[in-house]
């Protein structure tokens, strides 16, 4: 018979008003139950009951399971019906949380006890339970309230079957991008008339991105500054609640040196078409003075350090 090692068990005891949800075993004469089991195998097995799509039995040792070091205690177990396991698909294993009950009329509540570790039922182990639910002497004494009205008592169990895992996500961060940089040349910068210009789409970390540049700022308040933003492309399709993390740099390159203007980003993107960036990336005065090349072109570079990727269960 299955047992729980004291070295790894995490037993939790409590009181509860609500009766057991899976099965209740009411006994009208406990002493007669003791007598009937003493002449056989010292245990009482309930009829089959269903929980979580499987069939189970509640097993009660009125004077403890001696073979499992339960002498002097009430022992309680749950057994998975082998036929139920064979009919399941796939025919492998069942994980269940077990909570045992003993009714106390004096408190008008149920004493509950469980090992909080979820139990694995399979062909090699069909039975799990608790060896020492209550001391026998405590249980049999009417003053404590477990035995009442001439020998009546009640036991029960909740069998909470864990369903197969169907909802999951795997989050990864790509730090070894094969081509981490994208360069964009904005020609004839001094002659630009439009409010906003958009780069070609580029792929990074399995996602499509774009840069948006506002040559006169993205609002009248920013009219003296260059505004620059990094967006997920509109063509990207994100699943509900999906988000993408990016980390890296955006630079306006100095055509004659290494004194580039750089902004660092470290942000989550939650929907395509909306980006993150700088409304005042750099002053237009400095840009015109130093950062246009001989052909009046502005050279912008974005470099990715990290891009996240998420795999989801089907939604």
Rounded average pLDDT over 205-213 = 93
Fold classified for 11-161:
2.60.210
Residues forming beta bridges with residue 307, ordered by sequence position: 174, 246
Residues ≥6 apart with Cβ < 8 Å to 247: 265, 266, 267, 304, 305, 306, 307
165 pLDDT band, cuts 50/70/90, is confident
Residues ≥6 apart with Cβ < 8 Å to 119: 95, 96, 97, 98, 128
Structure tokens at 251: 């630079």
Same fold, 11-161 and 169-312: yes
Measured between alpha carbons, how far is 112 from 210 in angstroms, rounded to an integer?
Answer: 59
Structure tokens at 86: 């064979």
pLDDT of residue 7 exceeding 50, the answer is no
Residue boundaries of the structural domains of the chain: 11-161, 169-312
**CATH architecture of the domain covering 169-312:** Sandwich (2.60)
Structure tokens at 307: 């891009």
pTM of the model: 0.66
pLDDT of residue 309 exceeding 50, the answer is yes
Measured between alpha carbons, how far is 307 from 173 in angstroms, rounded to an integer?
Answer: 6
pLDDT of residue 50 exceeding 60, the answer is yes
Rounded average pLDDT over 73-81 = 96
Question: Dihedral through CA 187, CA 190, CA 191, CA 197, nearest 10?
Answer: 60
User: Are 266 and 272 within 8 A, CB to CB?
Assistant: no
314 pLDDT band, cuts 50/70/90, is confident
Measured between alpha carbons, how far is 14 from 138 in angstroms, rounded to an integer?
Answer: 16
Structure tokens at 105: 């009329």
User: Are 128 and 5 within 8 A, CB to CB?
Assistant: no
Rounded average pLDDT over 258-287 = 91
pLDDT of residue 125 exceeding 50, the answer is yes
Counting residues of the chain whose pLDDT is more than 90, the rounded percentage is: 73
């Amino acid at each position: 018979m299955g047992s729980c090692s004291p070295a790894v068990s995490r037993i939790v005891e409590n009181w509860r008003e609500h009766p057991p949800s899976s099965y209740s075993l009411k006994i009208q004469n406990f002493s007669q139950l003791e007598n009937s089991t003493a002449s056989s195998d010292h245990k009482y097995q309930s009829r089959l009951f269903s929980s979580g799509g499987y069939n189970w039995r509640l097993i009660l040792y009125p004077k403890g399971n001696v073979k499992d070091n339960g002498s002097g205690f009430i022992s309680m177990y749950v057994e998975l019906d082998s036929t139920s396991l064979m009919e399941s698909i796939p025919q492998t294993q069942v994980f269940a949380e077990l909570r045992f009950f003993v009714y106390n009329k004096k408190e008008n509540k149920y004493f509950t006890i469980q090992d909080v570790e979820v139990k694995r039922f399979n062909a090699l182990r069909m039975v799990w339970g608790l060896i020492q639910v209550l001391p026998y002497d405590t249980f049999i004494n009417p003053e404590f309230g477990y035995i009442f009205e001439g020998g009546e008592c009640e036991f029960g169990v909740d069998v909470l079957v864990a369903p197969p895992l169907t909802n999951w996500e795997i989050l990864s961060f790509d730090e070894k991008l094969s081509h981490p940089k994208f360069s964009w040349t904005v020609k004839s910068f001094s002659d630009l008339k439009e409010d906003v210009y958009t780069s070609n789409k580029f792929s990074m970390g399995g996602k499509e991105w774009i840069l948006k540049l506002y040559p006169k700022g993205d609002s009248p308040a920013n009219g003296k500054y260059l505004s620059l933003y990094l967006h997920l492309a509109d063509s990207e399709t994100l699943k509900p609640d999906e988000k993408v993390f990016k980390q890296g740099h955006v630079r306006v390159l100095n055509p004659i040196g290494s004194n580039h203007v750089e902004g660092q980003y470290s942000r989550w993107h939650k929907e395509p078409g909306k980006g993150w960036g700088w409304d005042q990336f750099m002053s237009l005065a400095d840009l015109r003075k130093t950062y246009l090349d001989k052909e009046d072109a502005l050279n912008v570079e974005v470099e990715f350090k990290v891009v996240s990727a998420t795999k989801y269960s089907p939604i």
